Structure 1
């Protein structure tokens, strides 16, 4: 074959899909290895239609080529050859995600965050990927996940009748010929993460018509390998109504909460070392999820909680151990409250739910939440519009309570330690760190 654009020599095919063939190639000018994608041109196009298709593909690929991010396989060049567009990209040593299935939940959450960052950058630049799937997520030799194949990317608001992509990973609104947007790519991300952790696609069927029906009308099979937290994120992304899917910011908070925070050892004035790194996660998840829930539900809609959740199920035993240490005891439910205690260190954690009637709507719940914020007898400190903290003022006790609202449910998470010295004024106390981390876990558990 002739050199593409006078410089790219094809070496061997690396893979083939519905949109074209990817080749290993050698850049004769810069003397480096690259990947080149030969776009598959629809059959039966007249000369004018072929020129229009090639021109549009070149324009869209060049737009995607302006995206530069560690989680994006960079596009270097787009060249026409014999009337077809060819896309020149980085050659990434490693393998695609579909060759590594299944993976553990924490690894899938890491991959999800990387792909989410790539999509967020594309969306902020007005570009949809339209073909997020395991085969287009590359895992480099260093373990880094990168989103590849922006070759069929399109501007926001592209023709909804364009069915480019892989049907099992295409959002239902695209089959309904509705306008695609960022939620469509996020749905595809959810399907990709489902496949990554479960080892099978959420809508796998043997014939294409059955795939389409499953995407449009069926729920995915129950997730057996995923942790409950990861399953909640994935199933939220797979909501068939794009308006109910979490936006990128909320999805990012949810995924980040599933990963262990870095451990930081900080010296105290007494000379003792206190391990607080595992308790340094703020309430970004609660704030992000609250904003998403409010945005999806609207100000005049009924609350989504019709019955009060069990506060004793707010934390798993592993999470309670992480927060309180080995040997923490869980008490019994007392109305809307449940507590955990570590008697060896005099630490207590309480989760309290206050349910406003669902039929009263979210306005009433918002007013009730504002009442708790302004009351309480001590100053509150805002974490977000729907979350605040308050120091617990009790004799011989150092503590913090975190309040947040999800729809019509108001949650208080209180963390107390008896006999502890008051923290330095220049530092946020360890009880604040622990309370906000506990509130994050409770918020994610509520979904």
Structure 2
């Protein structure tokens, strides 16, 4: 049986343990929701104050040049690039994930329309993050394509000679299941289709290798594992073979080849810079840079390989402790046990009371979140790759290796055990739904 002392000993040997001091975590809180909103870097508050009081307050408009504001999308993109297997000059931080998805899916459909005009289908996973499906649905309606949704174990079978684009999220937001990017991209290429990957739940948590996988387009989030703050700018990557082929659909002045020439006609910037649109949110970008600097620090202690190793160790421990200490309380597991198919979160299932259990945990200082699970795809644990449909809801726990420790995992499970054993979750105040779950 694993004890708290065992976990403290593991923390003492953790090569990433020194990175925790880079984040401001409230006393008495175990934060297991970094997959939804990352913790605040210690440096962020002072950096944003500096940007407000000095760069904006004193520098005023001069700071576009003197403080380097104008180059921030590319500067931050270059810090994101090594986390996702891209090269310098191929990524920009800008806009939101949804807007960036609209840009790259539009470009992918333009390429497909030119290279393979008879292809009429966009394929995606049925349990993909809803905003991705909404964007795809809208674009398919506009462009005359069909959006074809399938379960995760039917993706390959859905690829055919009528497929224009395969659009997938690398790690499923609801189950934590991770798709095999290299294999599925290769299957799409063999079928003559382009690939668009959403890295919102993988960038900064698991190593991503866009070039090695020969992917075509990717977008991702700045405020989850990258710890950029609420609503932080997202990012967009386009393989260089595609970057200069078409305008992206939001042809704004920041994506112009020479924005300060103020010409009436649009001339797109070369490469990834054409995927910019309007004036950038500089204050948000200064906060995002602080989150990215934590990954620069992580390079000295093993980088993303060390982050991934710890992520798997933390999630292994959480699964084992829940099954050991919370047995008999109706909890199931939606997240794959197989390391190659798991992101950096663990999703527990329960037929009734999942929302209230999460609220009771939050009241005790253990912060996770809830996701409704009507007809979720629950991974069969003993047979990787198989699945069945179930109507259980989700208790979702994200593990950010930069600041989460092994003792945090033990203590979180102990609080869960107490909530379940004492039926604490049945109290009325924990069954009142909030707007954000």
TM (norm. structure 1) is 0.22
> Would you tell me which structure has more helix in proportion to its own residues?
2
Looking at both structures, which has the greater relative contact order when contacts are Cα pairs under 8 Å and sequence separation is at least 6? 2
> In terms of Rg, which structure is larger?
1
